[in-house]
Amino acid sequence: MKTDKNTVIGFVLLAGLFFTYFWYTNKQQTEAQAYKQRYDDSVALVKTTAEKTVAAKNPIKVDTATQKAAIIDSVKEEFTTLENDLMIVRFSNKGGQVAGVTLKSYPNSTKTKVVLGDSTNLNYPVNIGNNQTLQINQVVFSAGKVTEENGVKKLEYVWTSPNGKTIKHVFSIAPKKYNIEWDVKMEGADQLLTNGQINFDWNARTYKQENTAEYERQVSSACFSEGNEFDYIATKTEKTFEKPVQWVGIVQQFFNITLINKSGFGTGAGNQLEFHKREDSSNGIAYLRAQFKTKVAGPTISVPLSLYYGPNDFNILKAQGSPDMDQIINLGRDLYSFVRPINKYIIMPVFDFFGGFNLNYGWVVLLLTIFIRLVTSPLTYSSYLSSAKMKVLKPELDEIKKKLGSDQQGFAMEQMKLFREAGVNPLGGCIPALLQIPIFFALYSFFNSNISLRGQSFLWSTDLSTYDVIAKLPFHIPAYGDHVSLFTLTATITSVFISVYNMAMTPTQDNPALKYMPYIFPVMLLFIFNNLPAALTWYYTVSNIVTLLLQFVIQKYIINHDKILAEIDVKRKTPKKKSNWQSKYEQMMEAKKKVEILKDKHKK
C-alpha cells in the first residue's frame, strides 16, 4: 500500500465502513432502552394472567377433587428427567412442559454446564365446561409415563378435563439430537377448543452464558421463518405475522431455543411476536413472546411440534430440515449480507478443512489467513507492481511539480497524461486496502458466531471467540473498554510497521494529511479491535506479518525496476487512444483551470 492520495482514499473508505458497521450493530442497545418499560409491562402481564384466569373461573361447578387437579397445585408438581448423549431434559407435570435443558458438552462463564429454557413454556386455553376456560399451564397432569423404543425415549403426560375430554403431551428425544419432539394430542378437541382453533402462547427467556452479558445482549435476536423465508428482529420489539410461520426462536451469541411447527402455524389476526432485551445488571439477556392461532379439524387431533435447545452450529441447524434455520447464524445480514456467500462457500469450508486436522484453532486461523493471502496474491502483486511503476515515475512527477509550482489543476492534468503514456493505473495503490473490506467483514461475522472457537485457548488467549485480556484497567475508556488486548496491540504494531515500511519505500508527500494518515489508521484500529474476538485480531496480526514479508520479497527480489522503466519507455512510444473517462476528466480539469485564471484576473 502506498501513502499516495489513492491509498488514503482506500484507508478512508475502509475506516468509514468499519465505523458504520459498529455504529449499526451498537445502535440496537440505545433503541432497546426506549422499550424497557414496555418489556416490564409485558412481563407483569404474563405473570398475572394465570391469577386473573383462575379468579374469573371460580364459579366452575365440579367436584372438589377434580377442581384441585385442574388448578395449579405446587404440592403435586413432579419432575421427570430424560437424557441422550448431548443433553439432559427436565420435564414438569405442571402444564406438561419442558422445565429446562442442560447441554452436556458446553460449559458457561461460571464453568458449569449451559442450561437453556428454564423459564420457557408453551401455553394455550381449553374449554372445561360450564362456559369456562383454563390455561394449560394451570393444569397438573398425571405422573409421566416413560418408555423407550429403538433408542428413542418417550414421556407421556395425560390430563382429563372436568368435561371428560383428554389431552396428552407426548415428548420424545432421539440419540445425538438437540430436538425434543412434542405432540399435542386431544380427544374431544371439538369441545376443548373454540371454533376449532388452538391459541398458542409461547414464552421464552435467555440468560447469560458468556463472559460479557452486555455484548451477549447486543448480538441477541429473535429469528423466524415466515412464508418459508428467513427474517429476524434485533432492535424492533414487535412483529405481526402475515404469512404462515414455520419456526420462531430466541437466539443468543452461541445458543438458541426454537419452536418448530412441522405443519406450520396458520395465518390470521393475532399472530405476532414480541422481543425485548434486558437493560439492567442482571444475568437476563432477552425475552420473547410469540402468539399463534392454528386451525385444527375433528374431535381427535395431533399437533406435531419440535423444540430445539442447542448450539448455533451451522451443520446441525441446516440438518433440521426447517427452512433456512442455518441463517440463525449471522454470517452477514442487511447492509453486510454481501459477505454471507464469502463465508458460506469459501471461509467456512476452508476453516472446517483445516479444523479437520485436529489442530489448535489458533493454528487453524493462521492456516486460513495464509490461504486467504495466497488467493488474493495476484491482486496484491498487481498493486505492488503499480506502486513500483509510480515510484519509477516519481522523478518526472517532481520535475512537473517544480515546473508548474502551485498550479494544482495543471499538475493533475500532466500527471494523468504521464500515467496514461506509461500505462500506469493510479488507483492500483489502494487495492490492498479496498480488498480488506469484504474480507474483514466476512471474518468479523464468521469469528463472532463460530461456536467452534468458543472456549478454545491459544497462546495467552483463553477464549478465541472473545477478546483476550492481559490487563484489566481500573477505569473504563470510552470506545476502548476496561481491558488491554494483546492481540489488538500486535495487530496495531504490525500495521504501524507496514506504514513505516511504505513510507521508507515512497518519498514523503507534501500534504500533511497524506503524510500522517498511515499512522492515524493503526491508532483507529487500536480502538476498533480491542473488543473484538481474539481470533479476528490474531488473523489481522498474521495477515500483517505476511504483508510485510510479501512486500519485502516482491520489492527486493521479484520486481525489476530497470525492466519496468524500459517497458514504460516502450509504452510511451506506442500511440494511445484516450478513453471517454480520460477525455471527460481532462475537459473538467481544463474548465477548472480556466475558472481559476478568471478568478485570478478578477482579483487583480
Per-residue model confidence as pLDDT tens digits over 334-366: 888 899 999 999 999 999 999 999 999 999 999
Q: pLDDT, tens digit, for every residue of 461-471?
A: 999 999 999 99
* pLDDT, average across residues 81-109: 94
Q: In whole angstroms, give the CA distance from residue 20 to residue 14.
A: 10
Angle at 596 between CA 591 and CA 602, to 5 degrees: 125
Question: For residue 63, what pLDDT band results from cuts at 50, 70 and 90?
Answer: very low
Coil, strand or helix at 127 = strand
pTM metric for this prediction = 0.77
Q: For 84-88, 127-131, 228-232, 551-555, which range has the lowest pLDDT when averaged over its residues?
A: 551-555
Buried-exposed string 223-261: b where 16+ CB fall within 10 A, e elsewhere: bbbbeeebebbbbebebebeebbbbbbbbbbbbbbbbbb
Question: For residue 411, what pLDDT band results from cuts at 50, 70 and 90?
Answer: confident
Q: In whole angstroms, give the CA distance from residue 1 to residue 547.
A: 10
C-beta separation of 387 from 563 below 8 A: no
Q: In whole angstroms, give the CA distance from residue 382 to residue 377.
A: 8
Question: For residue 167, what pLDDT band results from cuts at 50, 70 and 90?
Answer: very high
Is the pLDDT at 69 greater than 50, yes or no? no
CB atoms within 10 A of CB 264: 18
Is the pLDDT at 44 greater than 60, yes or no? no
- Residue 281's pLDDT is 75
Q: pLDDT, tens digit, for every residue of 283-336?
A: 899 999 999 998 898 899 999 999 999 999 999 999 998 889 999 999 998 888
Is the pLDDT at 14 greater than 70, yes or no? no
Q: pLDDT, tens digit, for every residue of 244-258?
A: 999 999 999 999 999
Is the pLDDT at 45 greater than 80, yes or no? no
- Residue 511's pLDDT is 57
Residues of the chain with CATH 2.70.98.90: 35-329
- Residue 478's pLDDT is 87
Average pLDDT for the chain: 80
CB atoms within 10 A of CB 360: 13
- Residue 211's pLDDT is 85
Rounded to the nearest 10 degrees, how much is the dihedral formed by the CA atoms of 246, 247, 248, 249? -160
CATH class, range 35-329:
mainly beta
Please enumerate in sequence order all residues whose Cβ is within 8 A of that of 441, keeping only pairs 6 or more positions apart, or say none.
Answer: 17, 21, 332, 336, 339
- Residue 396's pLDDT is 75
Q: Which one has a higher pLDDT value, 307 or 9?
A: 307
- Residue 253's pLDDT is 93
Looking at residue 44, its amino acid is A
